[in-house]
Chains A and B, each alone.
Chain A
Amino acid sequence: MSEPVASPGESVVTESGSPVETQLVFLHSLAALLAVLIAVVFGILISLQFFIPDFGGSWLSMAWGRMRYAHTQGIMIGWLGNAFLAFLYHAVPVLAGRPITSVRLGRWLFGLWNLIVVLPGWLLVLAGISQPIEWAEFPPIVDAFLIVALVMAAIQFIPPFFARGLEELYVSSWYIIGALVFTLLAYPMGNIVPELVPGAESAAFTGLWIHDAVGLFVTPLALAILYFVIPAATGRPLFSHFLSMLGFWGLFFLYPLNGTHHYVFSVIPMSAQLGAIAASALLGVIVIIVVTNLLLSARGARWLLGDTALRFAIMSTLFYLVVSVQGALQAQMSLNRVIHFSDWVIGHSHLAMLGFATFAGIAGIIHAWQRMPWARYNASALNWSFWLLTAGVSIMFIDLTLAGLVESRLWLAGAPWMESVVQAKPYWLGRTLSAIPITAGFLLLFYGLLTGPKGAGVQALSAGKEQGNGVTRSSTASTARAPGFALRMTYRVSATAAIVFFCLSVFLLGVLPGRALDEQISAMTPENVFGLSAAELRGREIYAREGCAYCHTQQIRYTDADMARFGAPTLAWEGQFDTPHMWGTRRVGPDLSRSHGTRSEDWQFTHLFSPRSVVPWSVMPSYAVYFDGAPDKPKQEARDLVAYLETLGRARELAWPEGDAMSRSFTSDDRWAQMSLNSQVLNAHTGKAEARDDIPVLSAAGNLENGMLLWQDHCAGCHGANGVGYGPAAAWLEPLPADLSQHEYSLAGLAATLWQGVEGTAMPAWRDLSVAQLSDLAAVVRSFHVPEPEVTVTGAQRGLGETVYRDNCTQCHGDNGDGQGFAAAELQVAPTDFTNQRPSVGASMSALQNGVKGTPMAPWTDRLNSDEMLAVSHYLRQFFGDSP
């Protein structure tokens, strides 16, 4: 028997003579810790941008979307990937009783994983070269290298198990083999297929991958650690290997079937959605079995006081229970309808990756580290690390869950979108503050593994063993008779079936729905739908690389709340040019599926350049870098991006209503498609300017105080605090916002303007405000008016004004000044309705002399002299009449 060694970099030998390559454990652990610190910094910078949206300034690499890509990929591949590999170098020789395949291969794998995948992956996404697929954001070239790395990992860690009969494999071995095999199957599917198929079909595969990334890569390796660490730390065998195998097979059969639950109430065929929902519920049952088994294995152990690795492992198990039961519940339609797209889901994913998986990863690293006699070990720092991380993750989870409930309540209630943003801000602050204990916990983890006396980990281990961690060791003798062949065959059949089942899941939840969607697209696509132009495609690339889809969805769900807020649910054919899809899974900002015709181009430019000048409480980052200093000087990128936004919902709107009518006849048996096609309104965006016949009657007794608060939030950005039309965004808009001090408005006119917006201008409709709020706003608008001193108009002047008006103005403004002249319908911006809006003589003179930029109103100085202009300015005021 060879003696273990105690010098850095050399291996420690197992009882069977297989070396544990401690150098590789050390390297991957260090890489993991560096990666998690960097990924956490990305996370903190992202969360800070909810309060300081322009944090990155003109440096696009610091933009929210790009850092979000770097954050999630850093956690999954940089942190967890390295942590798992570190653990595998310790665990596989112990489990298999044989060495890993090759130390040299291990060094190549380390280099490839970190220097060719993680580091370049980060740099590329920060440079804007990425892939807009959730949990697959590293660009395809990096994907290719990661697939090579996964093959190398499989070669490194699976063959050592070959010498063992299947019936001899401990459950951790099964999870390790399963994770390596299934990740190799799932990764190419999730990263490549969505790049090849469009829209809803692409989303079906993305849904599979989102869940496979967690369920077939992260979860199995985390569970391998828990099944390894808990018995090792307690010194007592697992409670039940039978239950653990039940959990293993249950997990590998059910996890692949869960994916579509990320797109419940979407256009993906309901059969696939219901299958995923049922699988999610069953998975919850399996997880309860797994967790019960793990906790029973630790019964009697003083885990909160004893071995640090055990403590992390048990806390990971508890997090696993919570996150899995939560996952099973939130997949159910009744809950999903409420919480989907909200911060609830962000809390859920953080509990999965930062709670369950991270705590398991730390348990694995500490467990292996403790057993490297040459390694330093600071038990006190690690103890603090545990408590800080536990507190931080718990606070973050609870905080985001509450934020999600607040957001979803407001969404369901039909409150203005920004209300949910404003109400979520305190919770977002809580999330940012939770980063303090989390960061401190990771720093102390780093510190605890690099300081302290050499060999202190082993000493702590000895002390723990002497105390038995609170449990007594049981006998490991067995008298079992051995139905080895039958068991071996059962495992072989199950393993084969699991792989077949994975393929079946891709077929059932990816290929089959894809075919159904293809048929739906063929049947329902209106004639002559055209794709995106070159500029629009460039804009789409910008939208993708800046991560816009991570705050704005492009899918209106088949729910009443979504239909009321955004309009007709998204049909499959609408995304037929989207490869990959941009559906998104989270809404910080509103859904953009129906952006076409919703906002004017100058509003879009202004919003991109300076979001808070037009939406004061917006948390969207500024993209001023796409402009030459001002919104009215957009660079090509800004033009492209706005051009792309204008395409969203364009095809269906242009085909409306004949297109939907035609589709309705083809899909009479498709209940969900009918739900979309029978929607009364295609675009329900409350800000879309459009003529409507449901204008409310406002109260003349609006509350000025309340109105002024609304004014500051919604109107001051353009019209200015005192209504004279020079708000921060005014200079960038054409036509300029109205100077309200120079106009007198009737209540009916204001109701029409506020309810309908002004087509062709940046003035949106405000249909998300209540009638009472609109009345309050109307009171404020009317209060801005500065009455003119009465001027006596002579009969001759009046006659002249009438003549000038009749000869020059009636074509647009109408015979009686109501803006309904015969040419009015052809104009992009409707002529002023003088019966509801009385401009001051000065305002009319200015319009006549200078024209109104951005409208068809041209200067009249070449056709009218000053007397005629003055006369008509006085004349048109009489149209205002007796409106209330």
Chain B
Amino acid sequence: MIINVVVISALLLGIIYIAIWSTQKHVRERIELPKQRFQEQVNQYDARIMVVENPGNEKQERG
């Protein structure tokens, strides 16, 4: 019984700590970073595809 209470309390405290920690501004911003990276990647990928299909756009896209 005591072990159960200790383990569950520790888990809950851990979750609460992570929850509070992850809401801090700089952590939030860090968590958000991958979406920016991903967006750059897909945008660049699409730009490259479009250049292949329409070479006239190449200069503009690379520019």
Which residues in A have some Cβ–Cβ distance to B below 8 Å? 3-6, 12-16, 94-95, 97, 167-172, 228, 231-232, 235-238, 240-242, 244-245, 371, 373, 455, 458-459, 461-462, 465, 473, 476-484, 486-487, 490
Asked if B46 contacts A232 (CB within 8 A), the reply is yes
A484 contact set on B, CB distance < 8 A: 30
A/B interface sample: 26 pairs, CB < 8 A: A12-B52, A168-B37, A170-B34, A171-B35, A236-B39, A237-B36, A238-B39, A241-B33, A241-B34, A242-B28, A371-B46, A373-B49, A373-B52, A455-B53, A458-B49, A458-B53, A461-B46, A461-B49, A462-B54, A462-B57, A465-B46, A465-B50, A476-B43, A480-B32, A480-B33, A481-B30
Asked if A241 contacts B42 (CB within 8 A), the reply is no
Residues of B14-57 contacting chain A, CB below 8 A: 18, 21-22, 26-46, 48-54, 57
Asked if A480 contacts B30 (CB within 8 A), the reply is yes
Tell whether A477 pairs with B36 under 8 Å between CB atoms, given A373-B52, A462-B53.
Answer: yes
- Residue among A4, A168, A228, A483 making CB contact with B34, cutoff 8 Å: A168
Asked if A478 contacts B36 (CB within 8 A), the reply is yes
Tell whether A170 pairs with B37 under 8 Å between CB atoms, given A12-B49, A15-B44, A487-B31.
Answer: yes
- Residue among B18, B22, B28, B38 making CB contact with A170, cutoff 8 Å: B38
Q: Which of B22, B37, B49 has the most CB of A within 10 A?
A: B49
Asked if A15 contacts B45 (CB within 8 A), the reply is yes
Asked if B48 contacts A480 (CB within 8 A), the reply is no
Tell whether A95 pairs with B41 under 8 Å between CB atoms, given A483-B30, A487-B27, A487-B31.
Answer: yes
**CB-nearest residue of chain B to A166:** B34
Asked if B30 contacts A462 (CB within 8 A), the reply is no
Asked if B50 contacts A458 (CB within 8 A), the reply is yes
A232 contact set on B, CB distance < 8 A: 42, 46
Tell whether A4 pairs with B52 under 8 Å between CB atoms, given A170-B34, A478-B36, A481-B29.
Answer: yes
Q: CA separation between A175 and B38, bound complex, in Å? A: 14
Asked if A478 contacts B39 (CB within 8 A), the reply is no
B43 contact set on A, CB distance < 8 A: 235, 473, 476
Not counting A97-B41, A462-B53, A487-B30, a sample of 11 additional A-B residue pairs whose C-beta atoms are within 8 angstroms of each other reads A4-B51, A4-B52, A14-B44, A14-B48, A168-B37, A241-B31, A242-B28, A373-B49, A458-B52, A476-B39, A486-B27
Asked if B26 contacts A483 (CB within 8 A), the reply is yes
Q: CA separation between A94 and B22, bound complex, in Å? A: 27
A167 contact set on B, CB distance < 8 A: 30-31, 33-34
Asked if B45 contacts A14 (CB within 8 A), the reply is yes
A237 contact set on B, CB distance < 8 A: 35-36, 38-39
Asked if B32 contacts A462 (CB within 8 A), the reply is no
A15 contact set on B, CB distance < 8 A: 41, 44-45, 48
B11 CB to closest chain A CB (Å) equals 9
Q: CA separation between A462 and B50, bound complex, in Å? A: 6
Asked if B33 contacts A478 (CB within 8 A), the reply is yes
Asked if A241 contacts B32 (CB within 8 A), the reply is yes
Asked if A242 contacts B22 (CB within 8 A), the reply is yes
A495 CB to closest chain B CB (Å) equals 13
Asked if B38 contacts A95 (CB within 8 A), the reply is yes
A252 CB to closest chain B CB (Å) equals 14
Q: Which of A231, A462, A481 has the most CB of B within 10 A?
A: A462
B32 CB to closest chain A CB (Å) equals 5
B53 contact set on A, CB distance < 8 A: 6, 373, 455, 458-459, 462
B45 contact set on A, CB distance < 8 A: 14-15, 94, 371
B44 contact set on A, CB distance < 8 A: 14-15
B38 contact set on A, CB distance < 8 A: 95, 170, 172, 231, 237-238
